[in-house]
Amino acid sequence: MNSSEENAVSGMSAGRSAMRMGPAELVQAAAMARRFYLEGKSKIQIAEEFGVSRFKVARVLETALERDLVRIEIRVPAELDADRSDALRARYGLRHAVVVESPAEAEESPDPENLGEVAADLLGELVDEGDVLGLAWGRSTIHMAAALDRLPPCTVVQLTGVYDAGTAERGSVEAVRRAAQVSGGDAHPIYAPMLLPDAATATALRNQTGIARAFEHFDKVTVACVSIGSWERGISTVHDMLSDEERAHYASLGVAAEMSAHLFDAEGRRVGRDLGERCITVKADQLRRIPEVVAIAGGQRKGPAIDAVLRSGLVTSLVTDTSAADYLLTAGPPPLSALNRSDPDGV
Residue type, 287: L
Q: pLDDT averaged over the chain?
A: 84
Q: Read off the pLDDT band of 243 (50, 70, 90).
A: confident
302 in Cβ contact with 228 (< 8 Å):
yes
**What is the predicted pLDDT for the residue at 111?**
64
| pLDDT tens readout for residues 317-342 | 999 999 999 999 998 777 765 556 56
Given this model, what pLDDT does residue 143 score? 87
Tens of pLDDT along 262-284?
Answer: 999 999 999 999 888 999 999 99
Q: What angle do CA 251, 247, 283 make, to 5 degrees?
A: 85
The pTM (predicted TM-score) of the whole model is 0.75
pLDDT for residue 216 is more than 90: yes
Most confident option among 33-37, 209-213, 223-227: 223-227
pLDDT of residue 107: 52
Cα gap 173→30, rounded to integer Å: 57
pLDDT in tens, 58-117: 999 988 888 888 877 665 555 788 889 999 999 999 999 999 988 765 555 566 778 888
Residue 266 neighbours by CB distance under 10 Å: 16
Helical spans, DSSP H, in the chain: 3-17, 23-33, 43-50, 54-66, 82-92, 113-126, 139-147, 172-183, 199-206, 209-216, 237-241, 244-252, 284-289, 303-311, 322-328
Q: How far apart are CA 129 and CA 151, in angstroms?
A: 8
Rg (CA), the chain: 26
**pLDDT band, residue 241 (cuts 50/70/90):** confident
Residue 11 pLDDT: 41
Secondary structure element (H or E) that encloses residue 320, with its range: strand 317-321
Whether the predicted pLDDT of 30 surpasses 90: no
What's the CA gap between 200 and 196, in Å, rounded?
9
Question: What confidence tens digit (pLDDT) does each residue in 284-314 have?
Answer: 999 999 999 999 999 888 999 999 999 999 9
In the chain the domains, ranked by start, together with CATH numbers, are 23-67 (1.10.10), 80-330 (3.40.50.1360)
**Helix axis angle, 172-183 relative to 139-147, nearest 10°?**
30
Has residue 163 got a pLDDT over 70?
A: yes
How far apart are alpha carbons 345 and 12 in whole angstroms?
63
Residues 6+ apart with CB under 8 A from 108: 299, 300, 301
How many percent of the chain have pLDDT more than 70?
Answer: 82
Number of Cβ within 10 Å of residue 22's Cβ equals: 9
pLDDT 10s digits, 126-143: 999 999 999 998 888 888
Structure-model confidence comparison of residues 244 and 77, the more confident one: 244
pLDDT value at residue 12: 37
